[in-house]
Structure 1
Amino acid sequence: MANWRIKSLDSILATAEKKALTRSLGAFQLTMLGIGGIIGTGIFVLTAEAAQVAGPAMLISFVLAAVVCGLAALCYAELASMVPVSGSAYTYSYATFGEILAWVVGWALVLEYAVAASAVAVGWSGYAVGVLQNFAGIELPQALVNGPYAGGLINLPAVLIAVAVTALLVVGTKESATVNAVLVVVKVLALTAFVVLAVPAAQSDNFVPFMPLGAGSAVAAASIIFFAFVGFDAVSTAAEETKDPQRNIPIGLIASLVICTAFYLLVGVGVIGSYGAQPMIDAVTGTAPFPGSPEMAALCAAAEGAKPVVCSNEALAHVLREIGYPGIGNVLGLAAGFALPSVVLMMMFAQTRVFFVMSRDGLLPKGLSKIHPKFKTPHIVTMVTGAAVTVAAAFFPVGQLASVSNGGTLCAFFFVALAIMALRRSNPDRKRSFRTPAVWLVAPLAAAGCLLLFGFLSWVAQAVFFGWAAIGLVFYFLYGRSRSNVAMGLDEVNELDPNIPPQGVPPLPGIHTPGGKDA
């Protein structure tokens, strides 16, 4: 197994202890971070995308995606409590399967977080455009609010928010942790208002036909709506900043997922029951175009009367306006406009943490994790991430971005499920303050669920995933394989290269330590 270059858990834990971040986060903060990462474009925007793929059967999609994420969360909870270090699935894979598979997982996490941030930026753009139109009467040119996929040139609002969040992460602000908590409350209140108004207005006729495109469509929609649950795993990337991680990490993971699942099902019932969510069908071909395609854009442009929910870029606000609550719909759009940037921030933050740990292990150039002398943030990797997020948000549709991001996420979740089974065999006596119940049932089901959803991703998303993985492997064999700490015999803590950058960066700019100074 030496050829696999497995890094021992003892070495990983000791390295993290020596070069650790300040532990300042409790269970409540982690739950808020988890909810802040989960509730975002997925529910505010992708509800319309899922409706186009499955119609009312998207309720089954929510359940299926939640089950797969719940199974993966149970696996994450045990691993994060047993190995409370940064790096998430990348670190777990390094300790279990070795360096090359750890690289594949880490590279997939980069795809997950960066593309997810782009998708959220595009989702924010739809709500921002709606707010400007309904509050200020300003209607931006279509060429500047849509990418080429919808007949436009560039999604300028998505570009602006991506640049703004990048600047925030580079500079850092003392208030950002508090702002994140406030925005979580705003998002929860917005969804609560929608549920209170839309669910009582539900009519049974709107649920018929329940599966207009067949049973397979519900699984296909689940592969898209899965994005709505992504974000809880970002909690585990903050393990080194968590007080009593053996207790608080599992609480943060599971509590945030349970709370968000309950909201999502209620929101789905409200959208379908109060307004309807039947897919648009091309009269010529008799098929339902894929969301974000030019064919779908043409059908929506030709639609007469009230705009179907599947054509809306601000689905929840649109539904409230159409069922008689235009003022509250506008306020919900405004709330989404204020709140969604926090998800962009969380996703970009999570990627910098994965990059940071990979750089510490020598698999990426150490310069990527260089700390800014004034702002004390990893400014280089943040700017690189921000540039990639900005370009993707400028030109690609939210549905395709979400599907591509899901490919990276499902890869990471799959290896987490395998890792927990492997560690139960190889390290049966290691302390586990949280043990996954029925692990030999839960973990295989989690792995199988990930494979199922990956199989229903669009061919574009699958092609991007495998292409990205191939690029990553080329980079690994040209650079990381010969320069990693393990390859250079620096696996032990007392032999670590002193030039490896210390992890002196707070989990979010301005998290305060008990002593009153910024971490």
Structure 2
Amino acid sequence: MADWRVKSLDSILATAEKKSLTRSLGAFQLTMLGIGGIIGTGIFVLTSEAAQLAGPAMLLSFVIAATVCGLAALCYAELASMVPVSGSAYTYSYATFGELMAWIVGWALVLEYAVAASAVAVGWSGYAVGVIQEFLGYELPFALTNGPYAGGLINLPAVIISIAVTALLVVGTKESATVNAVLVVIKVAALTAFVVLALPAYNAENFVPFMPLGSTSAITAASIIFFAYVGFDAVSTAAEETKDPQRNIPIGLIGSLVICTVFYLAVGVGVIGSYGAQPVGIIDGTAPYPGTPELVAACNADTVASVVCSNEALAHVLRSIGHPGVGNLLGLAAGFALPSVILMMMFAQTRVFFVMSRDGLLPRALSKVHPKFKTPHIVTMITGAAVTIGAAFFPVGQLASISNGGTLCAFFFVALAILVLRRTQPDRKRSFRTPAVWVIAPAAIVGCLVLFAFLSWTAIVFFFAWAAIGIVFYFAYGRSRSNVALGIDGVSELDPDIPPQGVPPLPGIHTPGGKDA
């Protein structure tokens, strides 16, 4: 296994024990963290994208996406309780499949978090534009609120919020558990208000036809609406800061997922029942894909103001069914709450980069800390620049699909890792054991592969291109410079009792002591 460079779990756990943060988070805080990460652009914005792909059948899409995430969450729960350290899927893959696979997963997580932040920024822009128009009576120029895909020049509000969040991260401003809990309450209250007002306007006729684009349309929509659940895995990245992680991490993972699924289904029924969610531009059983010029043209020709054409779907529905004031307040709530999701995604992205840099797989300059602000400013600014570019020029649906490619890759390897560790380390302590693991984990693997296959062609090509770039970078840089290649670990020089990484240095590689390995 030396050629695979598997980092031993004992070394990972020993390193985490020496460098771990203060354990202060309980089950409630973790559940709030999960809900805060999950509820965002997915439900506030992508509801319209899912409606364009599946119509009322998007309810099945929520169920399909939740099922795949639930299966993955059960796998995450066992691994997080067994290896309660930072790094999430990247760390699990390093201990199971070795360095190359860990690199691929870490590279995919970069895709997940950075592109997700861009998608949320675009989603925030839609609500911000609506709030400015409704509260201030000023309509921002179309060319400055839409990218080239919609006939505009640049999504300026998305650029502004991306730069603002980057600046906050650089100077060290971050969410506290209290602030996060308040923002969660705001988002949950907004969704609750929507459900309470929308369900009484229910009309069964709005569900007909239920599948206007065919039986597979629900899976296609699930490949995008899957983005609405991304964020629960962020709970596992807080493992080193959690009290009794073996108990509380599974509660946080599964609890937040269940609560959000109930909300999503209720919101979906409210949208369809009260207003309708039929696709526009249907010709010969097909409809334009979200985020394309064809859909923009179809929406411009639509005289009904379909929900699929709105950049602020939930607020649009409330205004249309006679609750403009609450609709405006919901838009305002989204405007306040969504930046916290951008912050969390970018923070998670910098943390993944930081861990990979600490392991030597990325340039160590990326983990440099600002002398005044004490933050990893270099990697934060690089991440912020990438997020800003994505938010400025690309549609939310395509960004969500691209982000989902990275997420599905990570989930795939987590499900695979749990099966491998059950075989290779059956006696290691597992405070939480995934039930029926030989059914749950393979089902999660199949689910990830199916949803990946239904992603847009652009997202699939982008994923493999991104993976190819990552592999080239690994062999050109990380393979010869990683801590495992050099035979060192993060704290062995401080404490000789910490186990080694498990593999010797590569021949011809100079160790820190100056001797040829």
Please give the TM-score of this superposition, normalised by the length of structure 1. Answer: 0.94
Deviation at 1:267, TM superposition (A): 0.3
Residue in 1 that maps onto 2:504: none
Alpha-carbon distance in structure 2 between the residues aligned to 1:100 and 1:385: 23
Residue in 1 that maps onto 2:272: 272
Paired residues of 2:275 and 2:317 also in contact (CA < 8 A): yes
Deviation at 1:311, TM superposition (A): 0.2
Residue in 2 that maps onto 1:147: 147
| SS of the residue 2:69 aligns to | helix
Paired residues of 1:207 and 1:276 also in contact (CA < 8 A): yes
**1:204 to 1:185, Cα distance in 2 relative to 1, 3 A:** same
**1:492 to 1:39, Cα distance in 2 relative to 1, 3 A:** closer
Q: How many residues align?
A: 496
| SS of the residue 1:289 aligns to | coil
Alpha-carbon distance in structure 2 between the residues aligned to 1:174 and 1:239: 18
Alpha-carbon distance in structure 2 between the residues aligned to 1:497 and 1:278: 63
Cα distance per residue 1:175-218 (max 9 Å; x no partner): 64432221111000000000111112111100000000001110
Residue in 2 that maps onto 1:322: 320
Residue in 2 that maps onto 1:301: 300
Deviation at 1:160, TM superposition (A): 0.6
Q: Counterpart amino acid of 1:291?
A: P
Alpha-carbon distance in structure 2 between the residues aligned to 1:426 and 1:491: 23
Residue in 2 that maps onto 1:332: 330
Q: Which of 400, 420, 423 is the equivalent residue of 2:398? A: 400
Residue in 2 that maps onto 1:52: 52
**1:223 to 1:276, Cα distance in 2 relative to 1, 3 A:** same
Q: Counterpart amino acid of 1:382?
A: T
Q: Counterpart amino acid of 2:373?
A: F
Residue in 2 that maps onto 1:344: 342
Residue in 2 that maps onto 1:459: 457
Paired residues of 1:235 and 1:253 also in contact (CA < 8 A): yes
Residue in 2 that maps onto 1:509: none
Alpha-carbon distance in structure 2 between the residues aligned to 1:175 and 1:493: 29
Deviation at 1:173, TM superposition (A): 3.1
Deviation at 1:174, TM superposition (A): 6.9
Residue in 1 that maps onto 2:171: 171
| SS of the residue 2:475 aligns to | helix
**1:365 to 1:143, Cα distance in 2 relative to 1, 3 A:** same
Alpha-carbon distance in structure 1 between the residues aligned to 2:492 and 2:486: 14
Paired residues of 2:280 and 2:302 also in contact (CA < 8 A): no
Residue in 2 that maps onto 1:515: none
Residue in 2 that maps onto 1:427: 425
Deviation at 1:32, TM superposition (A): 1.1
How much identity, in percent, do the aligned residues show? 83
| SS of the residue 1:215 aligns to | coil
Residue in 2 that maps onto 1:247: 247
Return 5+ residue gaps in structure 2 as ranges: 497-517
Alpha-carbon distance in structure 1 between the residues aligned to 2:389 and 2:256: 30
**1:492 to 1:155, Cα distance in 2 relative to 1, 3 A:** closer
Paired residues of 2:224 and 2:401 also in contact (CA < 8 A): yes
| SS of the residue 2:483 aligns to | coil
Residue in 1 that maps onto 2:413: 415
Cα distance per residue 1:376-413 (max 9 Å; x no partner): 22111111111100000000000000000000000000
**1:92 to 1:174, Cα distance in 2 relative to 1, 3 A:** closer
Alpha-carbon distance in structure 2 between the residues aligned to 1:317 and 1:497: 57
Q: Which of 342, 356, 359 is the equivalent residue of 2:357? A: 359
Deviating more after overlay: 112-121 vs 286-295: 286-295
**Matching of residue 287 in structure 1 with residue 283 in structure 2:** no
Alpha-carbon distance in structure 2 between the residues aligned to 1:250 and 1:17: 20
Paired residues of 1:11 and 1:493 also in contact (CA < 8 A): no
Alpha-carbon distance in structure 2 between the residues aligned to 1:480 and 1:269: 49
**RMSD between superposed Cα atoms in Å:** 1.4
Deviation at 1:496, TM superposition (A): 7.5
Residue in 2 that maps onto 1:490: 488
Please give the TM-score of this superposition, normalised by the length of structure 2. Answer: 0.94
Alpha-carbon distance in structure 1 between the residues aligned to 2:173 and 2:464: 38
Q: Which of 446, 449, 465 is the equivalent residue of 1:448? A: 446
**1:55 to 1:489, Cα distance in 2 relative to 1, 3 A:** same
**Matching of residue 119 in structure 1 with residue 119 in structure 2:** yes
Q: Counterpart amino acid of 2:162?
A: A
Cα distance per residue 1:38-68 (max 9 Å; x no partner): 0000000000000000000000000000000
Paired residues of 1:11 and 1:492 also in contact (CA < 8 A): no
Residue in 2 that maps onto 1:505: none
Q: Counterpart amino acid of 1:162?
A: S
Q: Counterpart amino acid of 1:173?
A: T
